[in-house]
Amino acid sequence: MAVLFLLLPVQCLVLPLNTAIIDWFSTLCFPLCWVWLAHVRWAPRFPYLLAMLGILLASAVASVASRDPMVSIPVLAKEVYLYVFLLTIAGVLERLDARALRRLLVVWYVVVCAHGALILVQFVDPPLLAAMNSGLAGVGSLDPFRPSGLMENSNAAALFQVSAFVPLFTLRLPRPRSLLLGSLLLATTLATGSLGATLAFACGLGAVLVGLLVLARGSRPVLGFVLTAMVGAALLALLLLALSQSYPHLQERINYVLSGRSSYSAASRFGIWSRGTQVLLSELSPWGIGPDLFKVIDGHELHNDLLSFVVERGLLAALALLLFGGMAFVRAAQVAYRFGAHGAFFALVFPAAMVGMLMEAQTHEIFHQRAVWLILALQEAIWRRSAGMRAPVRRSAPSTDRPGLAPAIGRV
């Protein structure tokens, strides 16, 4: 499982069927996981099954009816694989003991930090990015304009970086350490220049604040969170100022990556959505034009998951996608309430992640991103592991927002 986590960011190689190296390793890893799960007598569970069946059924019909089934059918196979990915990872994380789970979360975060360090180096040294792209010629590619680490696309890299806030908060480290490590994560996300990931982070931050206002029994957690966010913003501002003062040639790079692309990015999105709407109105097929075919027609993805489902798979698939998202958000709210009732506010990271992914899905297609499915798997595992938690404590009981104080929480 640790090796699986290590391979997550390696998505720059060109492999058959638009797969990544982690997918091929999974074919070896997952059977071993299933044998172990059978050995520990894990009872299989199938989260989001109704929504997933709706997506797969509508996608199967759309694939068969599409102009080019050979392009569409591999998309259907990938989504079956992603659901197996969710079930397997969730099962393993549910059944691991607390120490092993914590080690895997540490591996997840460390891998993201190492990948983020490469992104920062590519940001500071653009010739390195060009040299890496040149070295990968024929076997893979990186984003030619913005830092993307080991991924083909900088937006996918940004989503991978910001996803690590989930394991970071689930580890429940002391606040100063979490602040420093979270600021580092945010810096690596900003270095990719992904406006969608930045907006997703901001919305997730707002979701945490709303959750604290709902669940906290006093103003202290809310004030602590606001103060922490302000200190983190100050640290990032100081880092940016230090870089611009120490390396004057970086000023143009900073302006381009962080703000200079906003008007162009917005214009290109509106243009793609307009062309997608035209295809939708011209075809008027209940099953769409077929999964992944808009990219063949237009040369670009639709950069919006819901619009992509409507255009390529039809209205039923889009409704199933909405059901999937709604079920995921309900589960996140259940996890947050179950732990928040005990004063363990770290679980607010799950509804924050759902809100962030909802915003990200408005400007990018993230349904196939493995980081998304990994978050869903961890969320499901945390929910299952907390099934034996007792009723909420009374107001007079002390907070248990520290690891290991309550047996039920300590298991997570």
Handedness of CA 307, 313, 319, 321 (dihedral sign): negative
For residues 135 and 254, give the distance between their C-alpha atoms in angstroms, rounded to a whole number.
25
Q: What's the confidence (pLDDT) of residue 405?
A: 32
Q: If you average pLDDT over residues 244-252, what whole number do you get?
A: 69
Contact 190, 202 (CB under 8 A): no
Per-residue pLDDT averaged across 108-130, rounded? Answer: 91
**Is the residue at 394 inside a domain?**
no
Cβ proximity of 321 and 343 under 8 Å: no
**Residue 392: pLDDT band with limits 50, 70, 90:** low
Residue 285 has pLDDT above 60, yes or no: yes
What integer pLDDT is reported at residue 382 of this predicted model? 96
Q: How many helices, marked H, and strands, marked E, lie in the chain?
A: 19, 0
Of 1-10, 280-289, 346-355, minimum mean pLDDT range: 280-289
**Looking at residue 261, what is its pLDDT?**
65
Enclosing domain of residue 18 = 2-388
Measured over the CA atoms of residue 354, residue 260, residue 111 and residue 171, the dihedral's sign is negative
Q: What is the pLDDT of residue 131?
A: 92
Rg (Cα) of the chain, in Å, rounded? 22
Question: What number is the average pLDDT over the span 71-80?
Answer: 91
Percentage of the chain beyond pLDDT 70 is: 89
* 146 occurs within a structural domain: yes
Residue 412 predicted with pLDDT over 50: no
DSSP 299: S
| Number of structural domains in the chain | 1
Torsion sign over Cα 389, 105, 155, 277: negative
Is 263 or 219 the better-scoring residue by pLDDT?
Answer: 219
| Model confidence pLDDT, tens digit, residues 133-169 | 888 888 888 988 889 999 999 999 999 999 999 999 9
Mean pLDDT of 19-26: 92
**How high is the mean pLDDT of the chain?**
87
pLDDT confidence of residue 126 = 84
Most confident of 141-145, 223-227, 247-251, 351-355: 351-355
Residue 212, classified by CB atoms within 10 Å of its CB into exposed (0-12), middle (13-18) or buried (19+), is: buried
Q: Is residue 393 part of a domain?
A: no
Q: Is residue 149 part of a domain?
A: yes
Condensed to tens digits (0 to 9), the pLDDT of residues 355-380 reads 999 999 999 999 999 999 999 999 99
Q: Is residue 331 part of a domain?
A: yes
Q: What is the mean pLDDT of residues 180-191?
A: 89
In degrees to the nearest 10, what's the CA dihedral of 356, 362, 368, 374? 0
* Measured distance CA(81)–CA(27) in Å, rounded: 10
pLDDT at res. 374:
96
How far is Cα 238 from Cα 195, in angstroms, rounded to an integer? Answer: 21
What pLDDT is recorded for position 238?
Answer: 81
Q: How far apart are CA 198 and CA 178, in angstroms?
A: 19
**Domain assignment present for 220:** yes
What span, in angstroms and rounded, lies between the C-alpha atoms of 280 and 275?
9
DSSP 364: S
pLDDT (0 to 100) of residue 61: 93
Query: Tell me: the pLDDT tens digits for 304-322?
Result: 999 999 999 999 999 999 9
Cα dihedral 144, 371, 365, 353, rounded to 10, equals -120
Residue 390: pLDDT band by 50, 70, 90 thresholds?
A: low
pTM, entire model: 0.90
pLDDT over 60 (residue 399): no
Asked if 122 and 129 touch (Cβ cutoff 8 Å), the reply is: yes
Kindly tell me if the per-residue pLDDT of 257 is higher than 70: no
Considering the domain boundaries, does residue 408 fall inside one? no
Which residue has better confidence, 278 or 284? 278
| Mean pLDDT calculated for residue range 368-396 | 82
Domain presence at residue 180: yes
pLDDT at 190 over 50: yes
Q: What percent of the chain clears pLDDT 90, i.e. is strictly above it?
A: 53
Rounded Cα–Cα distance for residues 153 and 11 (Å):
9
pLDDT at residue 9 in the model: 93
pLDDT at 406: 37
pLDDT at 410: 46
Residue pLDDT, tens place only, 76-92: 999 999 999 999 999 99
Closest CA relative to residue 146, chosen from 2, 36, 253: 253
Closest by CA position to 250, among listed 109, 137, 124, 338: 124
